Amino acid sequence: MDGIGVINYYDNPTSKNAVHPTKFGVNTAIGYYSLKVNPVLGAVYFGVDAFYPGGWLGKENYLVL
């Protein structure tokens, strides 16, 4: 699915369905690593990336200073 998101990124970088090519690379590398070596890492990475608002970096709206 990230491959389609990269195509969307090149067509329209502001689309909500766009995926930056670097993000595609990170997702692919972690998926491959977790498939071969550590499935728990893949599950944790996917869980945070998919269900935490804003992914690993979080949304700036949730920052409290």
Q: For 15-55, write each residue's pLDDT tens digit.
A: 888 888 998 998 899 999 999 999 999 899 888 888 877 77
Calculated CA dihedral for residues 48, 54, 57, 60, nearest 10 degrees: -150
pTM for the complete prediction? 0.71
> Do 42 and 34 contact (CB within 8 A), yes or no?
yes
Place of tokens 């709206």: 61
Q: Is 58 left (phi over 0), alpha (psi -120 to 50) or beta?
A: left
pLDDT at site 2: 82
